[in-house]
Structure formats: structure tokens, C-alpha cells
Amino acid sequence: MQVSTCLFALCSAVLAAPRQENLLRRATGSLTSWLAAESPIALQGVLNNIGPNGVDAPGADSGMVVASPDQVNPDYFYSWTRDSALTFKCLTDQFLAYGTSGLEAQIRDYVNAQAAVQTIENPSGGLCTGGLGEPKFYLNQTAFFGPWGRPQRDGPALRATALIAYARYLISQGESSSVSSIIWPIVQNDLSYVTQYWNDTTFDLWEEIDSSSFWTTAVQYRALIEGNTLAGQIGESCSNCVSQAPNVLCFLQSYWNGEYIVANTGGGRSGKDSNTILASIHVFDPDASCDDNTFQPCSDKMLANHKVLTDSFRSIYSINSGISEGSGVAVGRYPEDTYQGGNPWYLCTMAAAELLYDAVYQWKRIGSLNVTSTSLAFFQAIYPSAAVGTYSSSSSTFDSIIDAVMTYGDSYMSIAEKYTPSNGSLSEQFSKTTGSPLSAYDLTWSFAAFLTAYNARAAAMPASWGAASASLPSSCSGSSASGPCSTATATFTSGTLTPTCSAQPSTTVIFNELVTTTYGTNIYLTGDNSELGNWSTGSEAVPCSASAYTSTNPLWYCVATLPAGTDIQYKFIQVASDGTVTWESGSNREYTVPSNCAGVAEVNDSWQ
Ligand code: NOJ
Ligand code: NOJ
């Protein structure tokens, strides 16, 4: 048993460490605490929106994803093929990276649900007559017949990518037969849709413009490449994937205007659009280099585009005013946007961060970094002395630039942190003038966007899909090829995997402490566990965040991930700017770390 209090003189001696360093640690400590706290909330937020058991998806069929539980202005109580596929790509990567056991049952429910959704006759057509391009369905798997921007041709490609991510895993587990019988028939229909219609116009992902869209073309390319690879692995083929993919890649190049990517061929806008960074993080391949043709995150074109796009939001949102050029801002869909007030979106802001984390990963893996005349302005904004050249990972310039890009990425996540309410809910938008959450609440895609950015920051990267094999034909041709299409009849048997998620080995505990402090004083959490610093009052103690602190609700919160089931003792301490430590009075606080499937818990205390 450790001592619970220490001699005042001793503690202050220990803490009379240089103050500057302490402040610096607090500055970064705040983002990392928030990320740790938000991560289980985001995962739970996604799961809450999936039928049949999600608490915010009442009445939704098994495996159907609710875009948001919001049913009024806007009514998002539907299942979009795009949102659902991006969500399940995220959950599959989460399952693969962390082995979160309960997720696999949900992934199988999604596969089964999509086999059924493919067959629903809808205003875009039937299974083999264009119906796969229908954007959204009711949660009981029936068609929506109201007016809508349709078709949206990204859906089938995104669904193929999500299903293929799980198929790869099954193959690695020796379960190719379920891939052949259950997943491939669904994927094959989606690939046939893409090979037939990629060269036709489409409503874009924002459901507004009917033209060609960078996002749609990029995600279609990815699906064709990995679809063909999957086919080869299970003794099938996709000859149309082989014939069409080069033309799709060729067309993809045409969106680049020399300075940035013009996101849509129609619409009469500037073309600066988050569609482009979302596409880049979607086609990110950890094994690809900084390939320009597939617009990888570290490609010079994508970096140049990142700057032009994010800069376009600097002057139009007042919450961005005063933020200097090299620091992240709130990012929206596109600068001309007026939908629901035309505000910044959480998922776009976090995508801007994710792209930078992906780029850092690629440079480190390649072992060098290129600054070209195309990307120079991007680099100079965050590292003013940047110059055109190639920097090997053994050079100090490489290290400095990598640090600057990571910091820049974190500055976008800090914007998301700043405008996320203390309960962690992520809406669709946040006000361009006040930063308060707006439009659909608890948007599934916002939570998924948090998780993918979080994982990229932690270098927990998704599998390669073969981007490195990209070869560009010397001339482009618009073409089309219709392929096999038939109802996918086989499904995973329900109940073979536990449908509910099982308890996690550790729990991220958010310790809330109401305590009024004066400027310069910081709160730390310390206790009898190594994660809590073993009663340290120095650098081992857990720094708490005042990011939600107000005079009427003086909330400090601290985050620690602790072994589930452990009994702990803890206390909060105040550390004044001169290093003086003040302990809470009374006996030590006691707590048993709960064990639950979300791996998250919250404790509410007030200074004693
Ligand atoms: C003509 C282009 O050649 C083709 O590739 C494109 O998809 C269509 N226009 C639709 O915009
Ligand atoms: C509107 C967005 O523009 C679209 O991309 C999304 O699919 C739906 N909301 C549902 O979240």
C-alpha cells in the first residue's frame, strides 16, 4: 500500500520543475486526453445507430445503419448506402486492428442486410437494372419513393470496398468458402454496376450536383482494383474490372486543374470541395508511395489541394478568424455550401487531419519526403524554410517537417475537440459563428470519421488494396462493360457469433472533477496504479483538461485507461503555477474499474 499523501515540502520541491515545460505538456495533454475519452464514445455512438440492438436505431432491421437518430430537420432516420458502407469499412478496420470481438457479428449482419437491400426495387431500378445506385432506403429494407438526388453511383463501389475488407480477413482465416458463397455474389453485382455505369453522370456524395464527381470516380477505381484481386483469390474473375479500371484511373486525372482538384464537372462552383480529401483518405494505401495518379495523401497534388481547399474556409467562417495560415481550421463541405446554414462539418475537419496523418505514415515508410514546386506552398505554410528537394529520413529537415505535419494534423483535431460538447456527441455540423453543434445529431459518419482519424494518428492503418499497381494508359477512353448480375442468396447464419459485444479488458475512465481554480493552477489525477502514476505528484500523474471549464460549471476532466475489474484508490491534486501542490482532504477515493463492452466509464467527483 502506498502512502496517500506526501509531505508538502517534499512535493513542492519535486514540482518546482521548469514551468514552461509543464505548460507545454498541458497543451498537448489536452488533445490526447480528449482523443482517449472520445474514442470509446465514438465507437459506442456508431453501434448505437445500428439495428436491431442499437439504442438509437429502434425498429431498424439487423445490420441496417441509421445515418442519424434525428428525425426532424433534417430527418436522417434512413439508411444510406454510402454512410453504411463507410461505417462498416471503419468497423471492419477497427475489428482487424483491435480484435474487438463483438464487431464481427455486426459485420455479418451488415453483409446479410446488403444482400437483401440489393434486391429492393426502387426508383433507380431493380437489382440488375440500375437499382444499386439508389442512395437511401427505409430501415425496414423498403424503398423510398420520394424525390431525391438519384442515382448516386458511389454506393455500390463503397459497399464492395467494405465487404472486401472483411473478405480478406476471412480468406486469411481459411474461410474462403464463405467468401465465395456469401460475399462474392454481392460484390460481383456491385462491381458490375461500376463497370457498366462509371462513365455516366451521377449525383455527387452531397446529393446535389448531377455530373461527374472526383469522389465517385476515385472510390470506383479502388473497388475495381481490389474487386479483381479478390476474384483471383477465390478462383473467380472480373474481366470487366480489368478492362475498365485503366479508363477510370485515366478519367480521374482530369479533375486536376494544375492548382487543385475540381471536385465536380458540373455545379458551377469553384470546385474546391472536401469530396477530394475524403476521396484521398478512402483510397489511402499504406503500401503505395506518394503516387499522384491515385491521389495518395502524401502526393504533391493532394497536398497542394489540401491547402487550397482548407484555405477556402479561413475567411468565410468567423470561428476561423485569427487562426494563422499554418494552423488548422474548421472545414466544411465546400465554400459555397448553404445546406443547414452552410457550416463546418466535423467529418470534413477530421478528414483534413487524417489525410496529414496518412501522409506522415507514408513518408516514414518510404524513408524520404519530396517537396516539389506543386506542394511547396503547402509545406511553407507549416514550415517556412521549406524548399524544393528530397529529404531522406536521416536528415534533420525530414524530422522537422514530419513534426510540423503531425502538429498541423493535430491542430485540425483540436478544432474538432474545441467544438465537441462534453458528452462527446458528434453532430453533422457546428456553427460557423459560435461553434455549437448543428443539424443532425449523433451522425454515424461523424463518429466513424473520428475513429478513422484516431487510428491514422496512432498509425493503425487499414490494409493495402493494391494502389501501387496503378498504371495509367496513354490515352483515356470513356467506356462501359456490363457484367454478371444475380441475386445473392446465401447469408451468414445468425447466432453463430455472439451478437452483443463482450467486455473489454480495459476501460477508459473519464474522471470529472468540479473544482474552481484560478488562472495558472492545474488539476492532476494521481492514485495507486501505474496508469495513475503510483501517487506521483510530478510528471507521472495524469494531467486533467479544462477544455470544458466554465465559471458556472468548473469542470476538469482526466482520462485514464485502466484494467477492468481492478480496485483503485485515487485523489485529485491542484498544482499552482509556482509548483505548490494541494491535495484533496480526507481519505483516498475508492473505485472499482467497471468491465463493459464499450470499454468506457465515467466518474463524477467534486473537490473535497
Ligand atoms: C464524358 C467523359 O468522357 C466521361 O469519362 C465522363 O464520365 C462523362 N463525360 C460524364 O461526365
Ligand atoms: C447529407 C450528406 O450530404 C450525405 O453525404 C449523407 O449521405 C447524408 N446527409 C446522410 O448522412
Ligand 1 atom closest to the Cα of residue 212 is 11
Would residue 258 be called left, alpha or beta, if left means φ above 0 and alpha means ψ between -120 and 50 degrees?
left
Q: So what's the pLDDT on residue 1?
A: 30
Q: How many domains does the chain have?
A: 2
Same-domain check for residues 259 and 330:
yes
> With pLDDT > 90 as the criterion, what percentage of the chain qualifies?
86
Out of 469, 484, 518, a domain closes at 469
pTM of the model: 0.82
Judging by beta carbons within 10 Å of its beta carbon (0-12, 13-18, 19+), is residue 506 exposed, middle or buried? middle
Please report which confidence band the pLDDT of residue 96 belongs to, taking 50, 70 and 90 as the band edges. Answer: very high
In the prediction, which pLDDT does 495 show?
A: 63
Task: Report the alpha-carbon distance of residue 392 to residue 395 in Å, rounded.
Answer: 6
- For 360-391, how does the pLDDT look when each residue is reduced to its tens digit (9 = 90+)? 999 999 999 999 999 999 999 999 999 999 99
In this structure, is residue 18 part of a structural domain? no
Phi first, then psi: give them for residue 408, nearest 5 degrees.
Answer: -65, -45
Instruction: Answer yes or no: is 153 within a domain.
Output: yes
Ligand-binding annotation for 148, yes or no, is yes
Residue at which a domain ends, from 412, 444, 469: 469
Q: Do residues 313 and 186 share a domain? A: yes
- Is the confidence at residue 16, as pLDDT, over 90? no
State which of 212, 220, 264, 475 you would mutate to test the pocket of ligand 1, scoring each by most atoms of that ligand within 8 A of its C-beta: 212
281-317 tens-digit pLDDT: 999 999 999 999 999 999 999 999 999 999 999 999 9
Annotated catalytic residue: which of 56, 154, 204, 410?
A: 204
368 and 455 housed in the same domain: yes
Task: Kindly state whether residues 352 and 225 are assigned to the same domain.
Answer: yes
pLDDT at 139 over 80: yes
Same domain for 554 and 433: no
Residue where a domain terminates, one of 469, 484, 517: 469
CATH code of 584's domain: 2.60.40.10
Phi and psi of 507, rounded to 5°?
A: -125, 130
User: Residue by residue, what is the 3-state secondary structure of 442-483?
Assistant: CCHHHHHHHHHHHHHHCCCCCCCCCHHHCCCCCCCCCCCCCC
The rounded mean pLDDT for the chain is: 92
Output the CA 429–ligand 2 centroid distance in Å: 11
Same domain, 576 and 461: no
Q: Is residue 209 part of a domain?
A: yes
| 445 CB near ligand 2 (under 6 Å) | yes
Q: Which atom of ligand 1 is nearest to the CA of 199?
A: 7
Q: Which domain holds residue 352?
A: 26-469
Residue 456, φ and ψ in degrees, nearest 5: -65, -40
User: Shortest CA distance to 17 belongs to which of 550, 562, 524?
Assistant: 524
For residues 404 and 526, membership in a common domain is answered with: no
Between the CA of residue 199 and those of 41, 246, 261, 382, what are the distances in Å? 40, 12, 19, 39
State whether 392 and 535 are in the same domain: no
Q: Are residues 510 and 463 in the same domain?
A: no
104 is catalytic: no
Candidates 207, 259, 336, 602; catalytic one:
207
Q: How far apart are CA 352 and CA 207, in angstroms?
A: 21
Through-space distance between the first and last CA atoms of the chain, rounded to whole angstroms? 22
